[in-house]
Structure 1
Amino acid sequence: MPTIYDVAREAGVSAATVSRVLNGQRTVDPDMVARVLTAVRELNYRPNAVARNLRRSRTTLWAVIISDIGNPFFTDTVRGIEDVAQQAGYSIVLCNSDENPAKEETYVTAALSEQMAGVIISSSGSAKAAKTLLDSPVPVVAIDRVLPRGTVDTVVVDNEAAARTATRHLLESGYERIACITGPEGVSTADLRLRGYVDALAVEPVVARTDFREQGGYDAMAGLLASPSRPDAVFVTNNLMTVGALRCLADRGIDVPGEMGLVGFDEIPWADLVRPSLTTVAQPTYELGRMAARLLVDRIAAPSAKPATVVLPAELRPRQSSTRPSPAS
């Protein structure tokens, strides 16, 4: 990768002159400006963003890296972040990793190279991205999911307790063979919600792991329906997979809640509107975002303080999808 010194040598000027040209100073001879710009173009030189930001005051931008911009969970969460950021004099840059560790790594690198004032991240599970953040001086707050292989300020809900409550609710409703559709192994929300489900059971768990996406939920539900020991209820550990599971049940003509009870994790805006209405575990999404932003403001002010973990409660909202009809008399 060419340096400022390579540009200076190609243009026949000093590195200081190259710097003045690239910073837009008007005191440089036009002929030198032309030579520098020609050298920049021919060498495909890109100014070092870290060095540029070190020379000027720290930015007032936060990178907010979320795992799936298509997930309604993040709508209120990001609003909570933004409201606190604005009050504290910061703006946010929203980045969507799309549950893709490689994209997450790219966004982390960009956030650090642009000398962002801080990063709030819902990790897709990339250990490399986590290490890059942990090795940097930039303040970091993890939200929704624990950052792999490191300790930073973190805001989550009590995933294990909420999943345990949801599973017990299905048991108390009379369902006996309860399956769980959860996300990828190593992602904290997937693993902790699975653990809560297992803790609530007195029988062998039935688990389908997939990718936290709607099609993944559909395919996982189809696999469970094809099983010789088909479940009579399912606990689904995020909203998009819940939509996929419901679509699969509708396509197969499976009656909910008569033939299959269902509880989804994450509230869905239309949960009360569909028939049967959908039982969900609702997270305090706005408060998650607000608290994460508050922690980041505090971390910027006190970089050496001990990392804090905030665990918020989630709420089971029982509706028709988990209410088993009484047997006909």
Structure 2
Amino acid sequence: MPTIYDVAREAGVSAATVSRVLNGATTVDPAMVARVLTAVRELGYRPNAVARNLRRSRTTLWAVIISDIGNPFFTAMVRGIEDVAQREGYSVVLCNSDEDPVKEETYVAAALSEQMAGVIISSSGSVKAAKTLTGSPVPVVAVDRELPRAVVDTVVVDNEAGARTATEHLLAAGYRRVACITGPEGVSTADLRLRGYTEAMRSSAPAEPVIVRTDFREQGGYDAMASLLSSPEPPDAVFVANNLMTVGALRCLAEREVAVPGRMGLVGFDEIPWADLVHPSLTTVTQPTYELGRTAARLLVDRIATPAAKPARIVLSAELHPRRSSSR
């Protein structure tokens, strides 16, 4: 395997010059840079990553901490992150907190101890993890969910507007007792989607808001729908605040032979790949998941380059896709 000294000899420069070129120094004569890069290419030289990271006090790895690896929402988002990371010379380490704040805290500690170049996190709501991250010099970007009690670079969708539009859509279709199944208190996506639903109900609906909080999981959606159906005055429609809970709610309705959209209208937040294939087809609020990831990665690249810059906050739009499940 060729060494830096082989490259220096081939290019006719010193090993120190080769090192400066490979580390991006701008003070090297362009002709020397060209000779060094030609020698690197012809010899197939690969820098020693361990030594380089020791000099930098940082790896070329990003920790991407997501809240549920079983949720297909995160697939396209992580792809967007990875595509940018690869182009910028970074690799991605994927960590699944599993909606568990303690597990999230463990991954944050690991990212810092391993001197990751940056962290992109979709928080499960741990204030301790957020405090640990913001108290470190490692660049941090929050994606999909706000980082609790922290001001960092953030990219989210307009959850409140998306939920409000979904609820108004059900009311306009003729449903009156519209309920909301949302996630845990303190998780920004759950709280903001609930706020959008509540605003729409209080401004347009003849009935009071009906709210069930659960855990953003399929079984949570099933149990929440079961409790709504068992109530003295069951709703005639429901807005469900994420895709996995929507699947659980639909399973409960199917098992109990509740006709959708006849007896129960339904809108879910997050697109589901088979939304057009089921009967009836499923109305959803769609997020630009790939763009969320890509934007978060660009924010991290910029933060690494300019650590002292003011934190940016980017809000992307969500779009309602009306289908049969919400049409009487």
Q: TM tier, shorter chain?
A: 0.7 to 0.9
CA distance in 1, matches of 2:211, 2:142: 27
Q: Secondary structure at the match of 1:234?
A: strand
Paired amino acid for 2:191: D
Counterparts of residues 238-249 of structure 1 (less than 5 Å) = 238-249=242-253
> Match of 2:233?
229
CA distance in 2, matches of 1:53, 1:74: 29
Q: Secondary structure at the match of 1:235?
A: strand
**Is the 8 Å Cα contact of residues 279 and 321 (structure 1) preserved in structure 2?**
yes
Q: Secondary structure at the match of 2:74?
A: helix
TM-score of the superposed pair, with normalisation by structure 2: 0.82
> Match of 1:321?
325
Structure 1 residue 247, shift from structure 2 partner: 0.2
> Match of 1:152?
152
1:161-214 residue CA offsets vs partner (Å, 9 max, x unmatched): 000000000000000000000000000000000000000013421000000000
Q: Secondary structure at the match of 2:156?
A: strand
Q: Secondary structure at the match of 2:115?
A: coil
CA distance in 1, matches of 2:218, 2:71: 10
> Match of 2:161?
161
Aligned length: 273
> Match of 2:271?
267
Counterparts of residues 99-110 of structure 1 (less than 5 Å) = 99-110=99-110
**Is the 8 Å Cα contact of residues 53 and 115 (structure 1) preserved in structure 2?**
no
1:13-33 residue CA offsets vs partner (Å, 9 max, x unmatched): xxxxxxxxxxxxxxxxxxxxx
> Match of 2:259?
255
Q: Secondary structure at the match of 1:170?
A: helix
RMSD between superposed Cα atoms in Å: 1.1
CA distance in 2, matches of 1:91, 1:83: 10
**Is the 8 Å Cα contact of residues 218 and 248 (structure 1) preserved in structure 2?**
yes
Give 4+ residue runs of structure 1 displaced > 4 Å after superposition: 52-57
Paired amino acid for 2:251: R
User: Where do 5+ consecutive residues of structure 1 fail to align?
Assistant: 1-51, 325-329
CA distance in 2, matches of 1:56, 1:135: 20
CA distance in 1, matches of 2:227, 2:64: 35
> Match of 1:284?
288
CA distance in 1, matches of 2:230, 2:98: 30
Counterparts of residues 88-167 of structure 1 (less than 5 Å) = 88-167=88-167
> Match of 1:83?
83
> Match of 1:26?
none
Q: Secondary structure at the match of 1:112?
A: helix
CA distance in 2, matches of 1:184, 1:204: 21
User: Where do 5+ consecutive residues of structure 2 fail to align?
Assistant: 1-51
CA distance in 2, matches of 1:141, 1:242: 28
Structure 1 residue 55, shift from structure 2 partner: 5.5
> Match of 2:299?
295
The percent of aligned pairs where both chains have the same amino acid is 82
> Match of 1:217?
221
Structure 1 residue 58, shift from structure 2 partner: 2.1
CA distance in 2, matches of 1:214, 1:56: 44
Paired amino acid for 2:233: S
Q: Secondary structure at the match of 2:171?
A: helix
CA distance in 2, matches of 1:54, 1:262: 54
CA distance in 2, matches of 1:55, 1:195: 48
> Match of 1:72?
72
CA distance in 2, matches of 1:297, 1:83: 12
CA distance in 1, matches of 2:286, 2:56: 44
Paired amino acid for 1:211: D
Structure 1 residue 229, shift from structure 2 partner: 1.1
Q: Report the more deviating stretch, 174-183 or 55-64.
A: 55-64
CA distance in 2, matches of 1:152, 1:57: 22
Paired amino acid for 2:179: A
Q: Secondary structure at the match of 1:256?
A: coil
TM-score of the superposed pair, with normalisation by structure 1: 0.82
Structure 1 residue 53, shift from structure 2 partner: 6.0
CA distance in 2, matches of 1:226, 1:86: 51
